Amino acid sequence: MSNPFTVSLVCWHDGEPLLRAIREAVFIREQHVPIELEWDGMDESSRHALALSLNGDAIGCGRIFPSGHISRMAVLPQWRKRMVGTAIMEALLDEARSRGYPQVDIDAQTFAIPFYHKFGFVEHGKEFMDAGMPHKKMTLKLLPR
Ligand SMILES: CC(C)(COP(=O)(O)OP(=O)(O)OC[C@H]1O[C@@H](n2cnc3c(N)ncnc32)[C@H](O)[C@@H]1OP(=O)(O)O)[C@@H](O)C(=O)NCCC(=O)NCCS
């Protein structure tokens, strides 16, 4: 059966209201990330993955910098564990491969490390705090295609 959602890559200009709504719900309201940390000025230069339900509701997102850094992976609580995050990450990795990036990296909240392991990310370095939550750096080397 096909997924009950779609994922597409958008620029900030086209996706801003929907991307903001997801990140406000997940990072600002649920995880209490300070507003000034959430809106870090990096969105305009990022490519964004946006997941929509078949009704057109925004349900998840993620972004990749031109440097290959991935961040702001978020799925609304009622949509978690239904492979939306996986589809978002696959869209971002496809984008990275099509741009010829040799690797991508992410600052993973420690609870989510098993999620990133599924794609082959490897953690390194010490745990550190960001926005009051423990994180680890993780890297995934990409094969050229
Ligand atoms: C992390 C997140 C994006 C994952 O999205 P998701 O749509 O739930 O992930 P998927 O359904 O594609 O996950 C597939 C598999 O990844 C693993 N996984 C996903 N979330 C996990 C978690 N929190 N802990 C451990 N494993 C996890 C599981 O193996 C899961 O398979 P399962 O359904 O058999 O348990 C989502 O939990 C989220 O938005 N969390 C809040 C925001 C956040 O903390 N973002 C990460 C910042 S680093």
Q: Which helix (H) or strand (E) holds 23?
A: helix 12-23
Using the predicted structure, report yes or no on whether residue 1 has a pLDDT greater than 90.
Answer: no
Quote the ligand 1 centre to 47 CA distance (angstroms).
Answer: 21
- The pLDDT tens digits of the residues spanning 51-94 come to 999 999 999 999 999 999 999 999 999 999 999 999 999 999 99
Q: Looking at residues 94-99, what average pLDDT do you find?
A: 96
Which atom of ligand 1 is closest in space to residue 79's alpha carbon? 7
The number of distinct structural domains making up the chain is 1
User: 14 lies in which domain range?
Assistant: 5-141
What are 108's two structure tokens? 């993973």
Residues touching ligand 1 (Cβ under 6 Å) are 26, 73-75, 80-86, 108-109, 111-112, 114-115, 118
The predicted pLDDT at position 143 comes to: 85
Which stretch of DSSP H or E encloses residue 104?
A: strand 103-109
CATH number at residue 78: 3.40.630.30
CA atoms within 13 A on the CB side of 28: 14
